[in-house]
Amino acid sequence: MNSRVPDGEDFGHVFSGMEDSMDTFFAAPPRRGRPPKLVEPAPAQRPEHYKVISISLYVEDIERLKALVGGMKRGGHSRANQSMVIREALRQFDPSRVPSQR
């Protein structure tokens, strides 16, 4: 028994003269008429009841925010998140209680 791995030349005679047939078989069908119109997908509807924003916070404020969210989750508020804490803080915010920054 021959354990040699066959190379490309061993099978070359099997496919000789079939190059044109292979190209024809695997070629795309010819186009007839106009090319099909590409349908542009409708732009995704963006929600109007909220917007995504980016804010800067000090590292210690971020840690406090994360701790507040973690405490709420441990306390049974399974859907608590950072946005919820910030929204509640804004709801309770009283500008008259903020000290002057002179």
- H-helix or E-strand containing 66? helix 59-74
The domain spans of the chain are 59-94
Q: What is the pLDDT of residue 78?
A: 96
Global confidence as pTM: 0.53
Residues above pLDDT 70, as percent of the chain: 80
pLDDT by residue (tens digit) across 2-47? Answer: 667 766 566 666 666 666 676 777 777 777 888 778 888 888 888 8
Cα angle for residues 87, 51, 43 (degrees, 5° grid): 155
